[in-house]
Amino acid sequence: MSPRTSLLVLLGATLASGCGAEPSSSGVPLALDVMIDRAVADELGAFQVVVLPNGQSRRCGDLQRTCLNQQVRPEDALVLEGPDGKKARGVRFTAGLDRGAQELAVDIPVGRDYVVIIEALSRSSPPRFLGSSCNYLESVSSTRNAALIAAPITLVGSECDPTFAP
């Protein structure tokens, strides 16, 4: 059995205001409802997923203020594997919220007490940090893991380049 397991991260963000969307009244749980401000939608180019160990010792409010790579050493982030098989400390996904939701699948090492940061990146080159979602993850097992429904992305906008070193 592989020491890594796939964790499905469902991006649940109200990008327009940084607040969660109202729950659906259909009676069937939905992963998320997404609303995007037109100005933000035009800027949004990708999402970057970064996972840090010792999650409970970290303060999400602090981690969401600016680019994560300006706050932690690159070697502190776990090496993840994206759906394309590439390994990196920051796995990127092209934004595709046209269906109202976006599923991000990332292989995260088996372990406990993580914090998962999902950064929204601009289309520009180099990309610019638009905001992030911070999510505590109690554990990842080598068997079956429940999907993580991401907290709303808090928009802050910053001129920093969020590129995480491989």
Residue 12, pLDDT score: 46
| Type of residue numbered 36 | I
What pLDDT, on a 0 to 100 scale, did the predictor assign at position 117? 92
Which pTM value belongs to this model? Answer: 0.78
Q: Residue 18: what pLDDT?
A: 42
Q: Given the DSSP bridges, would you call strands 44-53 and 111-122 parallel, antiparallel or unpaired?
A: antiparallel
b (16+ CB within 10 A) / e for 79-110? ebbbeeeeebbbbbbebebeeebbebbbbbbe
Helix, strand, coil content of the chain in percent (nearest 5): 15, 35, 50
Task: Give the torsion sign (CA, 34, 35, 39, 42).
Answer: positive
Q: What is the pLDDT of residue 19?
A: 40
7 and 108 in contact (C-beta within 8 Å)? yes
| pLDDT of res. 153 | 81
pLDDT tens over the chain, length 166 residues: 344 455 555 554 444 334 443 333 322 222 222 334 445 667 888 889 999 999 999 999 899 989 999 999 999 999 988 888 899 999 898 887 665 567 778 888 889 999 999 888 998 888 999 988 899 989 888 887 788 888 888 778 788 889 887 6
- Spell out the domain ranges in the chain: 4-48+59-155
pLDDT at 52: 96
The pLDDT, as a whole number, for residue 37 is 47
Residue keyed to tokens 């690159």:
74
Residue whose tokens read 């998320």: 32
